[in-house]
Amino acid sequence: MSFANAFCAGLFAIAIGSSASAQLSSQAVTTVYTRIDDVRANKFGLCRTTRSWGQDEQPVVVQSCPRGPNGWPVTMMSADARVSVWFGRESKNGTTVNAALEGAFADPHSVIEWRLLDGRPFAVIHRYFFDDRQALVVHRLQPDGTSCVAAVVPVRHGHDANLEASEIADAIGPSFRCDRDKLAVVGRL
């Protein structure tokens, strides 16, 4: 683990034990799951194409998928053998999935985990598959309807990536600022 990643992991441990965690413990965080097309299994029908352009062999395709809690829009885009999903509008200054996964040729899982506080979504956890590896991407859902990637948790042996991603989402998700706060990567991609 690099110094930066160790530092971020330490910050998360502190944040989880801090007042942010105490604040969340006094309020109930709930989880809701939704589904999108399963691109890995070639099972389609939930998302519908809204735009398409480029070459016939590898077009850029933008799709609208079933909305999340409180009507949060879910958009899936396929371009150059990379598929990414975002929620609401992409934050202009926030980290994208492609940037967070360092440009990997990735495919999203068909299940999306929404983290809600008092019935309002504040974070999403979404799994990506790439290069025989997996990572959980934590998205911050901002009150203005924009989102960005706040953290990446690589799935690795001996670690409960699901628990780590949930703890990170709950610790930093409600207050993460896409235009100011830096992406955190816990472990190595």
**Sequence spans of domains, the chain:** 3-36+89-185
Q: How far apart are CA 129 and CA 131, in angstroms?
A: 7
Q: Residue 93: phi, psi to the nearest 5?
A: -110, 10
pLDDT of 6 reads: 38
pLDDT of 13 reads: 42
pLDDT of 12 reads: 43
% of the chain residues with pLDDT over 70: 86
Reduced 3-state DSSP string for the chain: CCHHHHHHHHHHHHHHHCHHHHHHHHCCEEEEEEECCECCCCECCCCEEEEEECCCCCCEEEEEECCCHHHCCEEEEEECCEEEEEECEECCCCECHHHHCCCCCCEEEEEEEEEEECCEEEEEEEEEEECCEEEEEEEEECCCCEEEEEEEEECCCCCCHHHHHHHHHHHHCCCCCCCCCCCEECCCC
pLDDT of 28 reads: 86
pLDDT of 112 reads: 98
CA distances (Å), origin 124, targets 6, 42, 73, 79, 100: 23, 23, 12, 22, 15
pLDDT of 140 reads: 98
Q: How far apart are CA 38 and CA 36, in angstroms?
A: 6
pLDDT of 47 reads: 98
pLDDT of 107 reads: 96
| Amino acid in position 40 | R
Pick out the chain residues at pLDDT < 70: 1-26
Q: What is the torsion angle, in degrees rounded to the nearest 10, for the CA atoms of residue 50, residue 46, residue 121 and residue 158?
A: -120
